[in-house]
Chains A and B, each alone.
Chain A
Amino acid sequence: DTAVSQTPKYLVTQMGNDKSIKCEQNLGHDTMYWYKQDSKKFLKIMFSYNNKELIINETVPNRFSPKSPDKAHLNLHINSLELGDSAVYFCASSQDNVNQPQHFGDGTRLSIL
């Protein structure tokens, strides 16, 4: 019974393609996030959604578009993939507000050829 699950686990594709990463959480949380971990292992927040509404959008290119069809899902669509997009992308979720901890998925390893 995985709490936060991401698919696919690995994604290898060519420059210029469009791809999506899916995330689902079964914890009943209201808030979901996308983080990016680059080759230097720095983990940075990209987006945050609360009850399907965008609340955080860090400086991320417009090619990245998160979509939240319901509270349990936050998908990440990436257009026109570039070499610099190669990274591990982590989805996370938490209870709404206050100081609740975030629960992370195991990541999607995206490699751009």
Chain B
Amino acid sequence: DAKTTQPTSMDCAEGRAANLPCNHSTISGNEYVYWYRQIHSQGPQYIIHGLKNNETNEMASLIITEDRKSSTLILPHATLRDTAVYYCIVRARGSQGNLIFGKGTKLSVKP
């Protein structure tokens, strides 16, 4: 079973920041937080991952709380092409595979 909890759906206005929350209250010390997204009819796409520090790349920022029990994925300027299902996944360092996908959050970016 997935070890994360995410809202089922969210809306965001085009050009605004999209903030997607994720709860992972049972996360252990060696587990990373990963974010993937799946645009309709495509394979999942890696976005970002982190352990305890905030991370930023060309796609998004990941903010992890100090107690690591929750995180937020931020898309700074959402576009219509960001409409997708976003998955928050915890995964132990060194584990071979075993990405356990939950139901994710369906983000709808509206004009």
Contacts and interface: CB of A to CB of B under 8 A. Distances in A.
A39 interface: no
B93 A43 contact: no
B96 A102 contact: no
B94 to A, nearest CB: 6
Interface residues of A, number: 25
Interface stretch (A13-21, A65-73, A103-111): A103-111
A106 B40 CA distance: 10
Interface residue SS majority, chain A:
strand
Contacts, number: 58
Interface residue tally of chain B, by bracket? 20 to 34
A102 B46 contact: yes
B1 to A, nearest CB: 11
Interface in A24-78: 31, 33, 41-45, 48, 50, 55-56
Nearest to B92: A99
Contact of B97 (A4, A33, A43, A107): A33
A101 interface: yes
Given A42-B101, A44-B101, A99-B32, A104 B44 contact: yes
